[in-house]
Amino acid sequence: MSEHTDNLSSDPAALLRWYADAGVDEAIGDHTIDRFKVTPSAPMVLAPTVSKTTPTSAPAAVSAPVQPLHVSEGSATHIAQAARTVAELKAAVESYTGCGLKQFASRTVFADGNPKARVMFIGEAPGADEDRQGLPFVGVSGKLLDRMLASVGLDRATNAYITNVVFWRPPGNRAPTDEEIASCLPFVVRHIELVDPAVLVFVGGLSAKTLLAKAVGITKLRGHWYEYESPGLPRPVPAMALFHPAYLLRSPQQKRFAWRDLLAIKQKLDQA
């Protein structure tokens, strides 16, 4: 510890100020947990099968199918695959305790919109507003997403369906960890299978990277079509990644790329 932090330990008010300055603005539990002693229990899932198609290139880069290495009874994959309907999957997610985020959240944020819609949007993680209302994309960035959808004739009340890659708000709006994402992934994969959309849209880099199983950022991923496949889907689903509305609020000059992608999504929906 530095001299500065040594002083903090004898001055609780200064310590609180130091935490606040560092962005620690929320207590997430009554007891401290030694994370170095906690053994991760994330399910083993391989990435979805994805191939990339662009107007100028043939399909490329195929990765392994979404299949658990071993589907043990009671695992997230086992529970998720047992769901026969979206309602059953929602109930399964609500009673699932395998994701560490759940203990800090007020509500499970499963989905919003029409599950029979031909387009399914998958965002990142619920924030404070979503946690309060139990619905995805209802805060400031959700309002922008609604306007983006409206610009191409989509809205969650009739012809769009929206969910996230994790179902609970990460404390303090931090990014979900790989382990937290992995624990929700079997439900997300099953969610896509049950909705079986004509077009899939990954909203933001985290969603795109997770479901395309790519280690590159959203700037590289957006603007291309991919074919998303999993064993429970009757056919590959055309998929596109979109800049996250929270990013567009911070970087409005990027909106023109999002507009371009939205038009491509609309065109694909019109053709599909």
Report, in Å, the least distance between residue 3 CB and ligand URA.
40
Q: How many residues bind to ligand URA according to rule CB under 6 A?
A: 13
How far is Cα 84 from Cα 48, in angstroms, rounded to an integer? 20
Q: Could you tell me which residues come within 8 angstroms of residue 211 by beta carbon, excluding any fewer than 6 positions away?
A: 48, 50, 122, 165, 188, 200, 202, 228, 239
Helix (H, G, I), strand (E, B) or coil at 179: helix
The verdict on 137 binding ligand URA (CB under 6 A) reads yes
Among the listed residues 123, 176, 186, 197, the single contact to ligand URA using CB under 6 A: 123
User: Segment contacting ligand URA (CB under 6 A): 86-94, 118-126, 226-234, 249-257?
Assistant: 118-126
Could you give phi then psi for residue 99, rounded to 5 degrees? -105, 125
Q: With helix as H, strand as E and coil as C, how does 103-166 read?
A: HHCCCCCCCEECCCCCEEEEECCCCHHHHHHCCCCCCHHHHHHHHHHHHCCCCCCCCCEEEECC
The verdict on 124 binding ligand URA (CB under 6 A) reads yes
Could you give phi then psi for residue 257, rounded to 5 degrees? -70, -40
User: Segment contacting ligand URA (CB under 6 A): 32-40, 79-87, 132-140, 150-158?
Assistant: 132-140
User: Segment contacting ligand URA (CB under 6 A): 117-125, 147-155, 213-221, 225-233?
Assistant: 117-125
Nearest to 127 by CA among 170, 89, 87, 158: 170
Query: Which pair of tokens denotes residue 28?
Result: 């997430």
Strands 225-229 and 199-203, bridge-based pairing: unpaired
Of 141-200, binders to ligand URA (CB under 6 A) are 141-142, 164
The verdict on 136 binding ligand URA (CB under 6 A) reads yes
The verdict on 205 binding ligand URA (CB under 6 A) reads no
CB nearer ligand URA, residue 111 or residue 233: 111
Binding mask 60-79 for ligand URA (x = CB under 6 A): --------------------
User: Segment contacting ligand URA (CB under 6 A): 6-14, 120-128, 184-192, 248-256?
Assistant: 120-128
Residue 210: alpha-carbon gap to chain centroid: 8
Task: List residues near ligand URA by CB under 6 A.
Answer: 123-127, 130, 136-137, 139, 141-142, 164, 204
